[in-house]
Amino acid sequence: GAVVSQHPSRVICKSGTSVKIECRSLDFQATTMFWYRQFPKQSLMLMATSNEGSKATYEQGVEKDKFLINHASLTLSTLTVTSAHPEDSSFYICSAVKDPAGPTDTQYFGPGTRLTVL
Amino acid sequence: GNSVTQMEGPVTLSEEAFLTINCTYTATGYPSLFWYVQYPGEGLQLLLKATKADDKGSNKGFEATYRKETTSFHLEKGSVQVSDSAVYFCALSDQTGANNLFFGTGTRLTVIP
């Protein structure tokens, strides 16, 4: 199989605090992982591409200083929402591509993390 | 640019009914097309895909045909089951080598016994 987990599945925090979300590939190595954001009744929007051992590539309009991505190993990428505000409340989803990655490979998705900022 | 438009839903069907979920796309070049399914509490799973015009993807009784002339990739199943209840996402990949996926908004399907 190809299982991707996320932790936590749900988090509630106060405005101004930082929240870290973990994305793990459980049974495969992934040089490349992706972070998406989904608003209610809207599409998944790609936020950034996370590459092991190098800086993440952010999509236009995504603040890299606010959404810190670290991909320190071939099975773990983390997304830290810094100084979270209510408008950051959303559903965050990660995905991973098995190594070696090709242009048409399948992305394997985690179950998502629901962030609520009070 | 790249975009995907799919039927909004929610869709409620009786068991053994015929299912169609419409999906149309806008893309530059020659995209690959996908249907993903998300069961309650789980991550998105690839249901089927097609990589070129006139290809038909199929899996678990679901089918979708890549129609370049109508820029469509409609999902169909002849006889749905309660276990098919899930959210279905249409997506395209622009094959830039970065595995970028562009998703539709998702369609929630509920199948009642």
Other C-beta atoms closer than 10 Å to the C-beta of A23 total 28
pLDDT at residue number B95: 65
pLDDT at residue number A39: 80
Q: Residues of B101-111 as b/e, b for ≥16 C-beta within 10 angstroms?
A: bbbbbbbebeb
Highest mean pLDDT among A41-55, A85-99, B90-104: A85-99
* CA angle centred on B33, ends B103 and A35, rounded to 5°: 35
B 86-105 residues inside an 8 A Cβ radius of A = 89, 93, 95-105
Q: At A40, is the pLDDT very low, low, confident or very high (cuts 50, 70, 90)?
A: confident
Closest partner residue to B103 among A6, A43, A110, by Cβ?
A43
Q: What residues of A are in contact with residue B42 (Cβ under 8 Å)?
A: 111
Going from the C-alpha of A44 to that of each of A35, A112, B28, the distances in angstroms are: 10, 11, 20
CA distance to partner chain B, nearest, from residue A18 (Å)? 24
Contact A43 B42 (CB under 8 A): no
Check if B82 contacts A (Cβ < 8 Å).
no
CA distance to partner chain A, nearest, from residue B40 (Å)? 9
Beta-bridge partner residues of A114: A10, A91
Residue B42 has pLDDT above 90, yes or no: no
- The answer to which of A2-11, A47-56, A94-103, B76-85 has the lowest mean pLDDT is A94-103
Read off the pLDDT of each residue in B64-86 and give the average, rounded to a whole number: 97
Q: Which DSSP letter does residue B71 get?
A: T
Contact A103 B89 (CB under 8 A): no
Give the rounded percent of residues in chain A with a pLDDT score beyond 70.
96
Distance (Å, rounded) from C-alpha A89 to C-alpha B101?
Answer: 22
What are the tokens at A9?
């599945």
Residue B97 has pLDDT above 60, yes or no: no
Amino acid, single-letter form, for residue A64:
K
What are the tokens at A82?
């810094």
